[in-house]
Amino acid sequence: MSELRMENLVARYGKVTALDRLNLTIKDGELVTLLGPSGCGKTTTLRSVSGFLKPDEGEIYIGNRNITDIPPEKRGIGLVFQNYALWPHMTVFQNLAFGLELRKVPLEEIKKRVRSVLSVVKLEGYEDRYPRQLSGGQQQRVALARAIILEPDILLLDEPLSNLDALLREQMRFEIAQIHRRLGITTLYVTHDQTEAMVISDRIVIMKDGKVMQDGRPEEIYLRPKNRFVAGFMGTTTFIEGTIKSSHGDSCVLKTSEGWELRGITCGGVTPGSKASAAVRPEAVEILYSPVATVSGQSHTENSFEAEVDSSYFTGEVIDYHFRLGGSYIRVRGDTKKILKPGEKVTVRIDPDRLPIVPAE
Partner 1 sequence: MLVSSSASRKGLNVPSYLFLLAPAVIFMLLMYAYPFLASIVRSFLDKSGAFSFENYLKTIDLYTKDIAFTFSVTLFNTACTAVLAILLAVYFRIRQNRITKILSAIYKLPLFIPFVVVAQMMNSFLAPHGLLNVALAQLGLIDLKQPLQLFNFAGLSFGFLWKQVPFAVLIMHGGFQMIDNSYIEAARSAGAGMGKVITRVLIPMNKSSILVSLVLVYSQIVGTFTLPYMLIGGKIPTTITVDIAHRVNYFRDFGVANALGVFSYLLVLLTAWYYLKTKLGETK
Cβ within 8 Å of residue 23, ≥6 positions away: 6, 7, 8, 9, 212
What is the helix (H) or strand (E) element at residue 147, kind and residue range? helix 136-148
191 scored as a contact of partner 1 (CB under 8 A)? no
List C-alpha distances in Å: 160 to 83, 85, 152, 194, 196.
7, 11, 17, 14, 11
Nearer to partner 1, 8 or 83 (CB): 83
98 scored as a contact of partner 1 (CB under 8 A)? yes
Distance (Å, whole) CA 299 – CA 117:
60
Contact segment (CB under 8 A) with partner 1 among 74-82, 116-124, 206-214, 298-306 equals 74-82
Nearer to partner 1, 144 or 230 (CB): 144
Closest CA to 150 of 65, 61, 79, 63: 79
Nearer to partner 1, 75 or 226 (CB): 75
50 scored as a contact of partner 1 (CB under 8 A)? yes
Cβ within 8 Å of residue 33, ≥6 positions away: 188, 189, 190, 191, 196, 197, 200, 201, 203, 204, 205
Amino acid at 146: R
Relative to beta strand 154-158, strand 77-80 is: parallel
75 scored as a contact of partner 1 (CB under 8 A)? yes
Nearer to partner 1, 102 or 339 (CB): 102
79 scored as a contact of partner 1 (CB under 8 A)? yes
CB 213 within 8 A of CB 226: yes
| Smallest distance from partner 1 to CB 74, Å | 8
**Residues near partner 1 (CB under 8 A), total:** 26
82 scored as a contact of partner 1 (CB under 8 A)? yes
What is the helix (H) or strand (E) element at residue 144, kind and residue range? helix 136-148
| Smallest distance from partner 1 to CB 99, Å | 3
- 30-188-201-181 Cα dihedral, nearest 10 degrees: -50
Nearer to partner 1, 51 or 218 (CB): 51
132 scored as a contact of partner 1 (CB under 8 A)? no
Relative to beta strand 304-314, strand 261-266 is: unpaired
Contact segment (CB under 8 A) with partner 1 among 24-32, 45-53, 189-197, 297-305 equals 45-53
Question: Which x/- pattern over 248-267 shows residues binding partner 1 (rule: CB under 8 A)?
Answer: --------------------
The residues in 54-73 that bind partner 1, with binding defined as CB under 8 A, are: 71-73
3-class DSSP assignment, residue 352: helix
The residues in 144-173 that bind partner 1, with binding defined as CB under 8 A, are: 146-147, 150
| Smallest distance from partner 1 to CB 38, Å | 18
| Smallest distance from partner 1 to CB 12, Å | 18
Name which position in 41, 78, 160, 210 contacts partner 1 (CB under 8 A).
78
Distance (Å, whole) CA 217 – CA 227:
16
Binding site for partner 1 (CB under 8 A): 50-52, 71-75, 77-79, 81-83, 85-89, 98-99, 102-103, 146-147, 150
